[in-house]
């Protein structure tokens, strides 16, 4: 069993979030399952062995989401770990504003709202662990999905800021940034996909990083190499990639 007793997974209906819910339930945690599709949350609750709580939340609607998250934390009588895995993204070379807005509402406003609830709860409780799922896409822009990369860069910087906020206040709150490469989920879009990990493998590595209380982890580990290359790649070379 790990050091965590109560966990909330935001985005537990599919992909990485669903697999993390299974992992933490198997290790003995009570798990709060959060997502937009209640039927899928019920499926997950039936699959996992330990006690679970279901809360249908669409984090894009921030005011309602904040209240609902606070209700869930109260129902669980406090939590030790909150993982924010919910996100959306589109290939949008036509710059359709409706798709850009959906991405911003979920990946920026919704993500920040959930971080806010988590950190305030942990500050009041005196301890806790927040995990945010960013992406390798946070490192550089992408012409096919310009509004996916920018919010992920926001996620990475916001998590670092919250880590420094907790440190400045002397609070034992751990903030972990997870940067996955390509994972076999609905978020993996486009051509020339490589090094695609299964959701199960990605979740196993993420769980290990969480239980090790890391500040940051690339998933899978070999994406560290790609991250380094992306950081030094000149823009003129990116323009020639097609």
pLDDT in tens, 140-152: 888 888 899 999 9
pLDDT at 87: 92
Nearest-angstrom CA–CA distance, 189 and 238: 18
For residue range 5-52, list pLDDT tens digits in order: 899 999 999 999 999 999 999 999 999 999 999 999 999 999 999 999
Nearest-angstrom CA–CA distance, 16 and 155: 17
For the cut 50, the answer to whether the pLDDT of residue 1 exceeds it is: no
For the cut 90, the answer to whether the pLDDT of residue 224 exceeds it is: no
Structural domains of the chain in order of their starting residue, each with its CATH number? 6-239 (3.40.50.720)
Position 183 confidence tier, pLDDT thresholds 50, 70, 90: confident
C-alpha closest to that of 16 among 213, 242, 180, 190: 180
For the cut 90, the answer to whether the pLDDT of residue 123 exceeds it is: yes
Specify the DSSP element, H or E, that contains 42: helix 38-47
Nearest-angstrom CA–CA distance, 210 and 97: 36
pLDDT at 89: 87
For the cut 80, the answer to whether the pLDDT of residue 230 exceeds it is: no
Confidence (pTM): 0.89
Backbone angles phi, psi at 199, to 5 degrees: -60, -35
CB atoms within 10 A of CB 208: 14
> How many helices (H) and strands (E) would you count in the chain?
9, 7
For residue range 64-117, list pLDDT tens digits in order: 999 999 999 999 999 999 999 999 988 898 999 999 999 999 999 999 999 999
pLDDT at 66: 98
Residues 6+ apart with CB under 8 A from 108: 151, 154
For residue range 184-203, list pLDDT tens digits in order: 765 544 455 556 788 899 99
């Amino acid at each position: 069993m790990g050091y965590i007793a109560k966990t909330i997974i935001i985005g537990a209906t599919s992909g990485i979030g669903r697999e993390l819910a299974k992992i933490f339930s198997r290790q003995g945690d009570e798990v709060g399952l959060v997502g937009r599709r209640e039927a899928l949350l019920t499926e997950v609750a039936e699959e996992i062995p330990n006690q679970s709580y279901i809360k249908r939340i669409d984090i894009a609607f921030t005011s309602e989401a904040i209240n609902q998250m606070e209700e869930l934390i109260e129902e669980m009588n406090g939590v030790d770990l909150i993982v924010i895995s919910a996100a959306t993204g589109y290939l949008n070379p036509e710059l359709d504003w409706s798709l850009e807005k959906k991405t911003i509402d979920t990946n920026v406003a919704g993500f920040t709202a959930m971080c806010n609830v988590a950190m305030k709860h942990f500050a009041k409780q005196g301890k806790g662990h927040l995990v945010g799922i960013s992406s390798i896409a946070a490192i550089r822009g992408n012409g096919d999905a310009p509004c996916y990369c920018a919010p992920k860069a926001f996620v990475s910087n916001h998590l670092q800021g919250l880590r420094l906020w907790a440190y400045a206040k002397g609070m034992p709150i751990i903030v972990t940034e997870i940067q996955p490469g390509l994972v076999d989920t609905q978020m993996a879009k486009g051509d020339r996909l490589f090094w695609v990990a299964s959701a199960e493998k990605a979740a196993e590595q993420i769980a290990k990083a969480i239980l090790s209380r890391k500040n940051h982890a690339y998933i899978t580990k070999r994406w560290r190499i790609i991250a380094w290359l992306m950081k030094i790649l000149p823009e003129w070379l990116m323009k020639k990639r097609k």
